[in-house]
Amino acid sequence: MVAGTATIVWGAERFAEHLADASKRLGVTVALGTGAWIVTIPFGRNIQRCAIGGLITGILAAVMMWDGRLERVEGAALVIAYVVFVATIWLRERKPPSLAG
How far is residue 12 from each of residues 7, 17, 59, 65, measured CA to CA in Å? 9, 9, 30, 33
Apex 57 CA angle, 73 and 63, nearest 5: 60
Mean pLDDT by runs of 10 across the 101 residues of the chain is 85 79 70 65 75 85 88 90 83 66 47
Q: Specify the pLDDT at position 36.
A: 65
Q: Specify the pLDDT at position 32.
A: 63
Q: Taking a C-beta distance cutoff of 8 angstroms, is the pair 97, 47 a contact?
A: yes
Q: Looking at the whole model, is its pTM more than 0.85?
A: no
Residues 49 and 21: their CA atoms lie apart, in Å, by 30
Q: List the domain boundaries for the chain.
A: 1-40, 42-101
Q: Specify the pLDDT at position 101.
A: 47
Residues 7 and 41: their CA atoms lie apart, in Å, by 25
Q: Specify the pLDDT at position 73.
A: 92
